[in-house]
Amino acid sequence: MAAREASTAADKLFSLSGLFAVYKPKGRTSAGVLGLLKDRLLAEAGVQTNKNKRKQVLKIGHGGTLDSAAEGVLVVGIGKGTKMLGTMLSGSKKYTAIGMLGKATDTLDATGKVTEEKPYDQVTRGDLENVLQKFTGHIMQVPPLYSALKKNGERLSTLMKRGEAVEAKPARPVRVYSLSLQQFQPPLFTLDVECGGGFYVRSLVSDIGKELCTCATMQELTRTKQGPFTLEEHALHEDRWTIDEIARSLEHCTSLLPREPSHKKLKTEHPGETAVICEDK
């Protein structure tokens, strides 16, 4: 009976196909969350591993890296859904970010070493709101050195941590659909951002500080929406990472997606697994 139930669970797991969303907590990498999700599902289905090579291949991937210090929506593709992840990379995303005036770090967020401190008492709410207008629309942005962007096949962040000299990538075009100030309690300020693919909120906060003749670093970041998937409605928390819950989520999320999704071929990092890296955040 147990073997039959395991076989049924495995059949259901490998029949799953589409896009859904999970909640990525602070302190975990996007790849780590994806790996944990995959292991949970395989264990529930009773699929054994053999020398780290699974007898059956479960195709699963995510639609855009979220920094380990950040939290929020992580879109996941399973089965044929992995071919739809390209639309998540280029699509719009929404974030809530908390920045701190007066301090700059090497990573542009709270995880890095402080590299500069400047006074910020002169900055008013009006100053901050006026500056935001310069960062709305089609703009040019220099990506941070600590990022998922690669040089000779290695992430810039990995090279930086090894102490190797890394040149800043040239500024590139990005798009900000909307940008608003939600709170201002110096030195902290809270922003709501809607942007396109390849945008770094860390760089935005840093650039805002420079425009205000001080410096700034990002303290917290939450991705509240990616494509049609929202944090409140669609992101499954870890206690709901089961085959049945994901099947229900896939069914619910089908109506959110276009009927003819882009079938862009994505790079595979592991055999049988589509892992997608996006230079966001």
Lowest mean pLDDT across 46-50, 192-196, 198-202: 46-50
Taking residue 131's Cβ as centre, other Cβ atoms within 10 Å add up to 18
Question: CA 61 to CA 79: how far, in whole Å?
Answer: 9
∠ CA 233-239-245, rounded to 5°:
60
Q: What is the pLDDT of residue 61?
A: 95
The dihedral through the CA atoms of 148, 149, 153, 157 has a sign that is negative
Annotate 41-83 with DSSP letters as a single string.
HHHHTT--EETTEESS---EEEBS---TT-EEEEEEEEGGGGG
Q: What is the pLDDT of residue 90?
A: 72
Catalytically annotated residues: 67
Task: Reply yes or no on whether the pLDDT at 173 is more than 90.
Answer: yes
The pLDDT tens digits for 232-242 are 999 999 999 99
Task: Reply yes or no on whether the pLDDT at 275 is more than 60.
Answer: no
C-beta separation of 142 from 168 below 8 A: yes
Higher pLDDT, 13 or 154: 13
Q: Structure pTM?
A: 0.83
Q: What integer is the mean pLDDT of 176-191?
A: 98
Q: What is the pLDDT of residue 94?
A: 97
